[in-house]
Amino acid sequence: MDFSLTDDQQRIRDAVLRHCAQFSAEYWLERDRQASFPQDFFDSMADAGWIGIAMPSEFGGSGLGITEAAVMMQAVAESGAGMTGASSIHLPVFGMQPVVLFGTEEQKRQFIPNVVSGKDRVCFAVTEPNAGLNTTELKTRAEKVPGGYRVNGEKIWISTAQVANKMLLLARTTPLDQVKRKTDGLTLFYTDLDRSKIEVRLIHKMGRHAVDSNMLFITDLFIPDEHRIGEEGQGFKIILHGLNPERVLLGAEAVGIGRAAIQRAARYARERVVFGRPIGQNQGIAHPLAKCWAQLEAANLMVMKAATKFDKNEDCGVEANAGKYLAAEFAFEACHTAMLTLGGMGYAQEYHVERLLREVLIPRTAPVSPHMILNFLAEKVLELPKSY
């Protein structure tokens, strides 16, 4: 039992932190104020080969695991980039797993290298306005036509659709009332985001303004047969292979955000002098910060345990969900505590903790709420009756 990073993992962490040091906190604040995608950061990560860290080496990636990807994404968030930096590259790092696992050799050769290089930008179009986490109730319909499928429907909370040219799309190919199991009849596609058939409508939101969130309105979009990933009707099973890695990466990113906030707060507490002494000398300041540090480190162990189990092809659903839950809850507390440490200045943008507090609400809420995770853990670990 070893709780330390390997030498190679530590080198990844150090290298990513050095790379991200080129992009200051002021850079990220300006991207947030302008609501402009961090293109130069994205390009730099692609040029340095980081986006392909978990992609197969034969298609231009590094061939490493989700553990190494988690180490990298945590370092990105911890550098001060927060969810803005992490979200700008989040999907390419893990989102192509369905293509890697279920795509044909021709699909892999055609699709993956362009994602790894940064040439293609991908969004993940699953969630719908009236379905939420009840994925089996998706209403977007892909009707079989000669040579492919004709798609109509709506999607919501689709990140990076303003800048994406490709999308992973989950749609129903067999009506729900015609399948034996609710999870049947859904099909996954990797295809062009054709803006002549898809209206992309921006959602104005609380934070992470630089990385867009959107609604998609799809009208008569034609998707050729060769853009279907895996068998028709098996899309739900296919996307399940990406859920645990997504939770691992979001947990790692949340820990990174929490660490960034605590580091800023501790530095302020050392330097801020009131009544002739640094405020960090007061236990009312020191103890909450120390508590947050301990909580974040404990959460990180669960996140990395989940990542390690995934890379060993072991069942990691419990650990991935628990890690994401703990990391998001403790990171939120860390960001809030950091803001309170700075007092009024914590509310000022120039001190950056308010931006981290706004952004940490993303992993706390998405892609699955803390309440649904607790439902899952109650059922799977405690063997309590399913509540939904």
Q: 350 falls in which pLDDT band (50, 70, 90)?
A: very high
DSSP secondary structure of 237-302: HHHHHHHHHHHHHHHHHHHHHHHHHHHHHHHHHHH-EETTEEGGGSHHHHHHHHHHHHHHHHHHHH
- What is the pLDDT at residue 67? 97
pTM for the full predicted model: 0.95
Tens digit of each residue's pLDDT (9 = 90 or more) over 153-192: 999 999 999 999 999 999 999 999 999 999 999 999 999 9
| Four-residue CA torsion sign, 200, 204, 210, 212 | negative
Q: What is the pLDDT of residue 196?
A: 98
CA 351 to chain centre: 25
Nearest Cα to 66, choosing from 310, 274, 247, 284? 310
Answer for the pair 70, 252: CB distance below 8 angstroms, yes or no: yes
Question: What is the rounded distance in angstroms from the CA atom of residue 89 to the CA atom of residue 121?
Answer: 9
More confident residue, 338 or 243: 338
Mean pLDDT of 43-49: 96
Average pLDDT for residues 312-322, to the nearest whole number? 96
How far from 73 is each of 88, 172, 187, 244, CA to CA, in Å? 11, 32, 29, 15
Assign 34 a pLDDT band (cuts: 50, 70, 90). very high
- The CB-side HSE value for 60 (13 A sphere, CA atoms) comes to 21
**What is the predicted pLDDT for the residue at 76?**
98
**Residue 133: pLDDT over 80:** no
pLDDT of residue 56: 94
Check residue 221 and give its pLDDT. Answer: 98
Whether 346 has a pLDDT exceeding 90, the answer reads: yes
- The band of 130, judged by pLDDT with boundaries at 50, 70 and 90, is confident
- Rounded Cα distance between 92 and 286, Å, is 39
Confidence of residue 75 (pLDDT cuts 50, 70, 90): very high
Q: How many C-beta atoms surround the C-beta of residue 40 within 10 A?
A: 12
Q: Tell me which H or E stretch contains 142.
A: strand 141-145
Q: What is the pLDDT of residue 251?
A: 98
pLDDT at residue 132 in the model = 73
Q: Are 50 and 19 in contact (CB under 8 A)?
A: yes
pLDDT tens per residue, range 204-239: 999 999 999 999 999 999 999 999 999 999 999 999
pLDDT at 94: 84
Q: Are 359 and 83 in contact (CB under 8 A)?
A: yes
Confidence of residue 241 (pLDDT cuts 50, 70, 90): confident
DSSP state, residue 104? -
pLDDT value, residue 240: 86
Question: Residues with Cβ < 8 Å from 300, sequence gap 6 or more?
Answer: 74, 252, 255, 327
Residue 388 pLDDT > 90: no
pLDDT at 156: 96
Show the domains of the chain with their CATH numbers: 7-116 (1.10.540.10), 122-232 (2.40.110.10), 237-380 (1.20.140.10)
From CA 126, how far away is CA 138, in angstroms rounded? Answer: 8
For the segment 62-81, the average pLDDT, to the nearest whole number, is 97
pLDDT at 82: 98
Compute how many other C-beta atoms are within 10 angstroms of the C-beta atom of residue 68.
21
Q: What is the mean pLDDT of residues 74-91?
A: 97
pLDDT score for 265: 98
Q: Please name every residue paired with 228 in a beta bridge, in sequence order, or none if there are none.
A: 189
Quick: pLDDT tens for 255-309: 999 999 999 999 999 999 999 999 999 999 999 999 999 999 999 999 999 999 9
- Helix (H) / strand (E) element for 374: namely helix 370-380
